[in-house]
A and B are shown apart, each in its own frame.
Chain A
Amino acid sequence: MQRYDLRHLKDNYSDRMLEIVASTAISEVTIFIIDFCKNYDNVTKALELLEKNGCTIMNSLSFSEVDWTIVVKRKV
C-alpha cells in the first residue's frame, strides 16, 4: 500500500493518477490525496476515472476543507 499526494497538481491530477494506477500490482491498495478545489466534480471525476481503470473504490472522504482522500484497490 502506498500513499500519493497529488494536491500540488490541483485539478490536473488525472494523468499522474492513471500513471500510478498502472504501476500498481493487482490487489494493491493505493491512497490518493487531491486538492479538490472546493468543487465536488473533481472528486466525481477522479472516482469515475479510477473505476474505469480497473480500481475498486474502498473509501472516499473529505480530508480537510480543501483536500479529498480516495482509497482504491486495483482489481485488474
Chain B
Amino acid sequence: MSNVIFNIDGIKVEGDSNQSILQIARANGIFIPAICYLSNCSPTLACRMCMVEIDGKIQYSCKAKPKDGMEVVSKNEVIEQNRQDIMRSYDVNHPLKCGTCDKSGECELQDYTSIVGVGEQFLAAKDDYLGIKKWGKRQYDPSLCILCERCVTTCSDNIGESALKVEKLETSPNIDAYKDKVSKEVFSMWGKRTKGIISQVDDSCSECGECVSVCPVGAFIIQDFQYTSRSWELTKIPSSCTHCSANCKIEYNVKHTSIKDSSKKIYRVKNDFHFNPICGAGKYGYDFTNSKISSVNDMLSAINAFKESDTIIFNSNITNEEALILQKLKKEFGYKLVNNEAYRYKTFLDNYSSIVGKRLYSATLDDISSSDVVVTLGSFVKSENPLVKYHINKALKMNKGISLYFHPLKDLTMDQMGKNHYQINYKPEYEEEVLYLLLSLFSRVDELPSSIKKYISGNETTFNKVIKEDDKEVKLEVKSSKLLELIGSSLDFIETLTPLKDKEKITLIVGEDLYSGTHSSNLAKLIGLLEKNSIIKTMIIPSNNSIGVNLICDLSSDIGSKTIGYNCNGDFKISANDKVDANFYIPALNQQEGTVCNADLRVVPLNVAIPYNGYCLNDIANELGLYSKYTIDYTKELPKAKGFKTLEFDSLKDDYENDGTNNRGYELKNIDFKINDEVVIEKIDKELNSDNLVYLSNPILQFSEYTAKSKLLKDKAHLFVSKEFLESNGYVDGEIVEVSNNLKTVKLSLKLDKKLEGSVSYIPTYDVFSPIKELFKDYKYTNISVKRA
C-alpha cells in the first residue's frame, strides 16, 4: 500500500495504490459513470460503463489500479459512443412501465440513458417472458433486470449470505446481427446480459432487503411498497435506525396516508448501500410510531407520579438527551435511576477499563473490516448487531482475513460467509476457557499475572501427528492446549490457530453473553488483560444506547419503594408503545429528535419521521422545574468530561462522503480510566448441565417490542429450535409445548430455525406480552424442560 499521484483528464489526483482508479476518481470529485460497481466490494465488470483509456488502451476503472504518473482519460469520442451503446443495449426490451414502476424517478437506467444521450434505438432482440418471482417480502421481475449483479455482489460481499446468484437461461435471443454495429466490449456485455437471470439459493436469505436497496432499476422491489407511491412524492428524512446499537444511517420516506387521511405515514426506509448496508429490521421494521397521545389530566397524573416516586426504571432504548433529562431529575430530586441492561454493561466495562485504562473499548467497525483475524466471542452477532456481522464478512471477503466464531449455538448463517471462517461451539459458561485459550495464543504470556500463566501452562499438552516424508510415515509430537477440548474443539485445531499469532491486525468482538451472568467480571478482566498484553483491539457490543446511558447517568442497582417505569414496568408506566397498557404515552424513537451513541463509538442524530403531537419527557421535566424549550437543547450539554462534544444538535452532520469518509455525528472521546493493577480472577463454579439448554436471544429481523409490532415483521414469542431438536424429540414445527424450569412455566409454539444446528434452542425477548424472560436469572443460558402442552 503506497501513495500514488496520477492524472485523470489532466487533473492531478492522489490516492492509494490498492484502490481502483474509479474509487480515487470518486474521492477526488471526478465523475466516471458506473452502474454495477458497489463501493468497497469486488468489481464485477458487468456494466462496463466505467471504461477509461489508460495509455491508449481501454480498461475498466473499477478494477484497474493506478500507477504514478499515469494518464487516465475518462471520456473521449470512443468511450462516449461505447457508453451510449451500453445504455442502448440496456434499453432493449426494457418494459415501458415507468408509469407504474416503483423505481421511476430514481432509476439509474432512466438517468444514464439521459446522461449519455441515447436518442434512438437501432438494437433489437427477441423478447421473452420470464415470469415474476416472489421471494419473501421481495419481488424480482427479470424483465426489468439489467443483470448488473449489484444484488449478487452486496449479498456476498456486504451481507455474507451469497443467497443470490446469476443463473444461465436455457434459451436466449440471437443478437449476432449486431456484432459489427457495436464495439466488441458492448457486444460481449450485451450478449452476457441476455443469457442470464438472478436466482435465489434455497434457505440462504435472511431478508435483509439489500438487494432491493442496491437495485438500480425496479427489478427488485418490496411487495408491500409496490404501487403505493411515486418516489418524488415522498419526503426524505435522514435519521438513524434505533433497533440495535449499530444505529445505521437510514432515510425514512414519508407522505400522507391517503386522500382521506392527511396524517403522515412511513412508506419505506432507504439506506446508503455503498457504505452502510442495513438489516431487514431496519428495512422493514419502521412503523413503530406511537399513535396514542396522553391528555392534560394524564400529564397531571404523570407529574404527581414523579413527585411521589423515588425510582425511575428505564431501558437503553432512549436518546442521550432523554438520559440527560433523567440524570438532571436525579440530581434535582434524588431519584434512583435503574437500568439493568446498561448497569450490567457498565459493570463489565468498568472491569475491562480498570485494566486497559480507557473508559470505552478500542475497536471500531473499520477496525473489524480491516482485520487479518476477527474473533467473535459470545455474540449471536447476526441478530445482536447485524452491521458488525457485515464488517466481519468484509474482513473475510475484501481483506482475506480469518474469522474465529466462538458461540454455543451452531449458526449456519455465519458459515455462509465462506471459507476462512471457523465456528467453535463451546458449552455455555466456558467463555473463560475461550479467553484463556486466546491469551495463550495472542498475548505476551510472560507479562500476564502468575496465576493466569500457571493456568495456561497447566493446560499445555501434546498430540501425535503422522506426516509423510520421503514416502515414509513420520510421527510428530505437536504442542497444543487442553483448553481446546474443554471448549468443544480438538487438539489438532491448534494447527489452524498457531499461524494466526503472526497476523498484524486482530480484533476481538465481545457479545452480550459475556456481560450477563456470574462470570462477567472475570471475563471482562481477562479481555482487558488480552488487550493490554497483545495487539488485539476489542469491541464490546452494547445493547441499544447503553454506552450513552452509562456515560450520562449515575445508575443504581437497587429499586426504591415507588417507581416510574419509563418504557418499562413500574408503579406508573410511561410507554412509547401504543400496543401496551400504560399510564402515560410518549413519542417513539422515530418521532423524536435526539442523539444516540452507537457501537462504532459515534454520537449520531435521530430526526422526526412522524410528528408526535403529545407530551414527551421534556414536558414533564419542565413542569418539575427543569427548563428547556426542546429536548435537543440538551444535546450541547451532554457531558464533555465523559467524551461528548458541546455541539448543537442542528450542527451535526450525518453522511458518508464519496470516498466513504464517515461524517455521521461525531466520535466519542475515549477518556482515561483509573487502572487497577491488582487483577483478581475469582473461582466461580459452573452451574448448568448440558441437557435442554436454552439461550435468551432474538432471531434475525427482531430486536424488541418495536420490531415485533411493525406490520411487516409482526410476531410473537416462540421456542426457536433446530431440525435436529424437532426430529430427536418427535415434535413438529408449530407445535405448542410447555417450557419450564424452577423459575417459570410458559407455553410456546416451536419454530424451526433452518439456520440452527444442535440441541440448544433459543427464546426471544421481543414479545413483551410473554413472561418468557422470567425463565432466566442473570445469564443468557438456562436449563429447561420441554414437554407437549
Are B128 and A63 in contact, CB atoms less than 8 angstroms apart? no
Nearest first, the 6 closest Cβ-Cβ pairs linking A and B are: A40-B129, A62-B95, A61-B96, A64-B97, A62-B143, A63-B96
Nearest CB in chain A: distance from B307 CB, A: 61
Q: List 5 A-B contacts (CB under 8 A).
A: A39-B129, A40-B128, A61-B95, A64-B95, A65-B132
Q: A62, B129: Cβ atoms under 8 Å? A: yes
Distance between Cα atoms of A5 and B131 in the complex (Å): 23
For chain B, the bracket of interface size reads 10 to 19
When A65-B132, A65-B141 are in contact, do A60 and B97 touch as well, CB less than 8 Å? no
Report whether B127 and A60 are in contact in the complex, using a CB–CB cutoff of 8 Å: yes
CB distance from A29 to the nearest CB of B (A): 16
How far, in angstroms, from A41 to B100 measured CA to CA in the complex? 24
Q: Which of B90-141 contact A (CB under 8 A)?
A: 93-97, 99-100, 127-129, 131-132, 141
Query: What chain A residues lie within 8 Å of B100 (beta carbons)?
Result: 64
A43 — which chain B residues lie within 8 A by C-beta?
A: 127, 129
B-side residues, CB < 8 A to A, are 93-97, 99-100, 127-129, 131-132, 141, 143
Asked whether A69 is an interface residue with its Cβ less than 8 Å from the other chain, the reply is yes
Interface residues of A in 17-44 (CB under 8 A from B): 36, 38-40, 43
**B141 contact set on A, CB distance < 8 A:** 65
B305 CB to closest chain A CB, in angstroms?
Answer: 55
Chain B contacts of A40 at CB under 8 A?
127-129
* Max chain A Cβ within 10 angstroms of own Cβ: one of B95, B128, B131: B95
B132 contacts across to A, CB distance below 8 A: 38, 65
Alpha-carbon distance A61/B128, docked complex (angstroms): 10
CA distance A69 to B132 in the complex (A): 18
Chain B residues closer than 8 Å to A60, beta-carbon distance = 127
Most chain A CB within a 10 A radius of its CB, from B99, B100, B127, B128: B127
Cβ distance B139 to chain A, nearest Cβ, rounded Å: 9
Measured between beta carbons, the chain B residues less than 8 angstroms from A65 are 97, 132, 141
A60 to B96, CA, bound (A): 10
In the complex, how many residues of chain A place their beta carbon closer than 8 angstroms to a beta carbon of chain B?
A: 12
Which residues 38-73 of A have a CB within 8 angstroms of B? 38-40, 43, 60-65, 69
List, in ascending order, chain B residues with CB within 8 A of A39's CB: 129
B362 to chain A: closest CB distance in Å? 52
Q: How far is the CB of B173 from chain A (nearest CB, A)?
A: 12
Distance of A43 Cα from B130 Cα, bound (Å): 13
- Contact of A62 with B96 in the complex, beta carbons under 8 Å: yes
Other A-B contacts than A40-B129, A64-B99, A65-B141, 20 sampled, CB-CB below 8 A, are A36-B129, A38-B129, A38-B131, A40-B128, A43-B127, A61-B94, A61-B96, A61-B127, A62-B95, A62-B96, A62-B127, A62-B129, A62-B143, A63-B95, A63-B96, A63-B97, A64-B95, A64-B97, A64-B100, A65-B132
**Least CB distance, B225 to chain A, in whole angstroms:** 15
Looking across the interface, which residue of chain B has its beta carbon closest to that of A64? B97
Residue of B nearest to A41 (CB): B129
Provide the bound-state CA to CA distance between A64 and B97, in Å.
5
With a cutoff of 8 Å between Cβ atoms, the chain A residues found around residue B93 in the complex are 61-62
Most buried by B among A39, A60, A62, A63: A62
Distance between Cα atoms of A64 and B127 in the complex (Å): 15
Q: State A61–B144 Cα separation when bound (angstroms).
A: 11
Contacts of B96 in A (CB 8 A): 61-63, 69
Distance A61 CA – B98 CA, assembled complex (angstroms):
12
Q: Nearest chain-A residue to B95 (Cβ)? A: A62
- A70 shortest CB reach to chain B, Å: 11
Q: Which residues of chain B come closer than 8 Å to A69, judged between CB atoms?
A: 96
Assembled-state Cα–Cα distance A61/B143 (Å): 10
A1 to chain B, nearest CB (A): 16
Residues of B within 8 A of A61 (CB): 93-96, 127
- Chain A residues with CB below 8 A from B127, complex form: 40, 43, 60-62
For B97, list chain A residues within 8 Å (CB).
62-65
Chain A residues lying within 8 Å of B143, measured Cβ to Cβ, are 62
When chains A and B are docked, how far (Å) is the Cα of A62 from the Cα of B92?
11
Question: Distance (Å) between the CB of A26 and the closest chain B CB?
Answer: 23
